[in-house]
Structure 1
Amino acid sequence: MPDARAREDRWRRILIVAWALIGILILVSVGGFALLKVAPALVPFMLAIVIVYLFRTPVAMLERRGLKRGLAVGICYAAAAVFLIIAGLFIVPPLVSQVGEFVQAFPAYYGRAFTLWQQLQTQFNAIVVPDWANQALLNLQDTISKQALAWSSTIAGRVFSVGSGAVSFLFNGFLAIVVGFWILKDLGAIKREVVLLAGPKRRDEASVISAKVSNVLGGYLRGQAVVSAATAVLVTIGLSIFGVPYALVLGLLAGVLNIIPWFGPLIAEVIAAIAAAFVSPWLALAAVLVIAGSQQLTDIFVTPRVMSEQVDLHPLLVIFSLLAGSALAGFVGMLLAIPVAAIAKGLFVYYFEKWTDSKLTTEEGAFFREKKLDAESGEDNPACGSGSREPSTKDADVEETE
């Protein structure tokens, strides 16, 4: 009788676990389906989050100097608009000029390409080849011509969709600015409510996790902006020295594409090589070497240093996290490696010091360095520090000073 009851209890537990797993799978499936359906609506909110992380530090600095938070956000927005306008006055005219030069030079590029093709045809006709090989080449040429016509029709048919996509992008950008304003204005209240949802027992840990994730993501975005800007400057200078056409356009493109690990620099190299190949094959090689060299310089010297300062990771941990992320998840792994490693390191330090009642971080440390609190910049949140102090729900307010 006891054995039968034990077997019954065991099977009951198995069924409970099985039904729980089935329920989780159903919830994940429904949630994923719903997320795919509402994904377009989330675009402005994702852009707004980027805006929030870029502006929260200057907003907090202005607020601590006595300005109301809404006014501080407005001033930061206005300063950003002025900066973009001034930068546009210096960047847009050369961009427009270089694009105009490319449009004017395109017929000449086409003429050179056509002349080169005729020369290749003449040299090919002088070579005696078997009839079957000649027929195969003719078939290949016919296939390529038909495919080119099909692509031309497709591109022409998508002009309207490109225009509508540009309108959608502008609308999402405007909506992101509005959403970002309201998030920045009520950031403290939003964080307090998120921490309170964790309940009294988990409130302290929720405060730590929220602060650490927020600090890391903000630092990562700022660091990535610095790295991309450094790449753009290096590529523009290098291409200008070698006389590659459209150096400014290609440099800005390389800086933007630098956000994409592996594929971004490769795409920039291909585009630069195509632009330079019409001038000289050697210039195309120089363009590729300039972009590859600039990428290596930023990866070796700029990225580890900048990211270590912004996300509080030692340069060796930055390099290791990039390699490990690449090995584990490829492109996505490299993209998420640094913020994930920084969050994991911060949580490890917090729980280690809390459970062992000992201090792991020091100001002279390497992998576990304690950042000095800066009362002016407010870059650090006490909730993210060592375990020597238990955080409270007030830490959600402290993070506003970032």
Structure 2
Amino acid sequence: MPRWKISIAVAAVVVLLLFILVPSVALVLFSGLLMAAFLNGGGGLVERATKIPRGWSIGLFTLLLLLAIAGVFTLAATSIAAQFNELASQIPGAIENLRSRLEEYEWANRALDRANPAGLISGEGGRAATSAVTSTFGALGNFVIIAFIGIYVAVTPVIYRKGAVELFAPSLRPRTDEILRKCARTLKSWLAAQLISMTVVGVLTGIGLLLIGMPLAFILGIIAGLLAFIPNIGPVLAVAPALLLAFGEGPSMLIWVAAVYLSVQTLESYVITPLVQQERVDLSPALVIAAQLLFGVLFGLLGLALAMPLVAVGRMLIKELYVHDYLEREPPREMALQLPEGERHE
């Protein structure tokens, strides 16, 4: 077997085994690459504005980003903490209020009995709580790892790209380098479009809730913006706490809150996302939803969150490696055999 085929087979097997045996590691590494694309894109903006070298531009962008986050939390820390505490204190009451309303119906009583809330304080519930705490600390550790991977890859991308290219046969190295560059551009394009969508969704949701007099509008807007990172499913998760709180405010507030989220989601789906993703990353909604279901079942919440960038990169690889490099280079032998003898040589 030619060496170039062996190098492709080895790379494919390594990636496949990584996702099968240690999927959490694979997803953390991919998250680090996504972070690197974000820092690299921001560093590129700083470089074009200041004309300083790329490494210093990325460092300056990272520093400005940290200062901006620290400044926002410093200026609004009291308000944000108060709203978070109020949200945390009101959610249990809202759930209890919903439960008391549902208990008026026989079918709801049967459903609540099957839910068995007492299980929360049983041994099984204790193990679930312990798992949740462990997962929280694991998430914090993963975030640190993702941040460091992102910084290192963003500052010196040539080293890591060169190392990946050298794993392939010499005849494949120029094309491999080109594909890796296209992967980086795909991630940057998707991330830029997604950040714009998230910002618009968070701002519009917060303003809409504020106009209708909904309590905790600011923090609910932040939640909506952050969960917009997960297309299609994120907005459904974001509306849940808002509807729970609105349930205690009365039927009219419930309708107004649903209208705000529905309006923002419609605007995001049919206006914002098509505009910001035009000529960037073209993904069909059905493909995204199918990928979210698949990665959510296989890899949990992190897989659900990363489904869309994974599909974007996968789609680009299929287009370049399978369609362009394989299918479109097949010589039309069968067509030539069907032509008359005299026409084959024309």
- What is the TM-score of this pair, normalised by structure 2? 0.71
Q: Alignment partner for residue 180 of structure 1, among 132, 150, 158?
A: 150
CA RMSD, 1 decimal:
4.1
CA contact (8 A) 1:235 1:254 kept: yes
The CA distance in 1 between the partners of 2:178 and 2:115, in whole Å, is 61
The CA distance in 2 between the partners of 1:292 and 1:332, in whole Å, is 26
CA contact (8 A) 1:261 1:331 kept: no
Q: Does 1:160 align with 2:130?
A: yes
Aligned partner of 1:230 in structure 2 is 200
The CA distance in 2 between the partners of 1:276 and 1:110, in whole Å, is 11
CA contact (8 A) 1:231 1:298 kept: yes
Aligned partner of 1:7 in structure 2 is none
Q: For the structure 1 residues 94 and 62, does the alpha-carbon distance in structure 2 shift closer, same or farther, using more than 3 Å as the test?
A: closer
Q: Does 1:83 align with 2:68?
A: yes
The CA distance in 2 between the partners of 1:37 and 1:239, in whole Å, is 45
Q: Alignment partner for residue 215 of structure 1, among 178, 182, 185?
A: 185
CA contact (8 A) 1:230 1:255 kept: yes
Post-superposition CA distance 1:281-311 (Å, at most 9, x none): 22112112211110110111111111125x2
Query: How high is the sequence identity, in percent, across the aligned residues?
Result: 20
Q: CA deviation at 1:54?
A: 0.5
Q: Which secondary structure state, in structure 2, belongs to the residue aligned with residue 75 of structure 1?
A: helix
CA contact (8 A) 1:242 1:286 kept: yes
CA contact (8 A) 2:36 2:153 kept: yes
Post-superposition CA distance 1:129-150 (Å, at most 9, x none): xxxxxxx989948x71881211
CA contact (8 A) 1:322 1:337 kept: no
The CA distance in 2 between the partners of 1:268 and 1:214, in whole Å, is 30
Q: Does 1:144 align with 2:129?
A: no
Letter in 2 for 1:240: L
The CA distance in 2 between the partners of 1:242 and 1:304, in whole Å, is 28
Structure 2 gaps, min length 5: 2-8, 296-306, 330-346
Aligned partner of 1:74 in structure 2 is 59
Q: Which secondary structure state, in structure 2, belongs to the residue aligned with residue 308 of structure 1?
A: coil
Post-superposition CA distance 1:185-218 (Å, at most 9, x none): 3211222343344444333322322222210111
Aligned partner of 1:47 in structure 2 is 31
Q: For the structure 1 residues 139 and 265, does the alpha-carbon distance in structure 2 shift closer, same or farther, using more than 3 Å as the test?
A: closer
- What is the TM-score of this pair, normalised by structure 1? 0.62
The CA distance in 2 between the partners of 1:33 and 1:337, in whole Å, is 19
Q: For the structure 1 residues 349 and 46, does the alpha-carbon distance in structure 2 shift closer, same or farther, using more than 3 Å as the test?
A: closer
The CA distance in 2 between the partners of 1:99 and 1:175, in whole Å, is 27
Q: Which secondary structure state, in structure 1, belongs to the residue aligned with residue 249 of structure 2?
A: coil
CA contact (8 A) 1:229 1:255 kept: yes
The CA distance in 2 between the partners of 1:138 and 1:190, in whole Å, is 57
Letter in 2 for 1:93: T
CA contact (8 A) 1:270 1:288 kept: no
Structure 1 gaps, min length 5: 1-15, 17-23, 125-135, 356-402
Q: CA deviation at 1:250?
A: 1.9
The CA distance in 2 between the partners of 1:249 and 1:31, in whole Å, is 39
Count of matched residue pairs = 305
CA contact (8 A) 1:109 1:278 kept: yes
Q: Does 1:322 align with 2:287?
A: no
CA contact (8 A) 1:253 1:268 kept: yes
Larger radius of gyration: 1
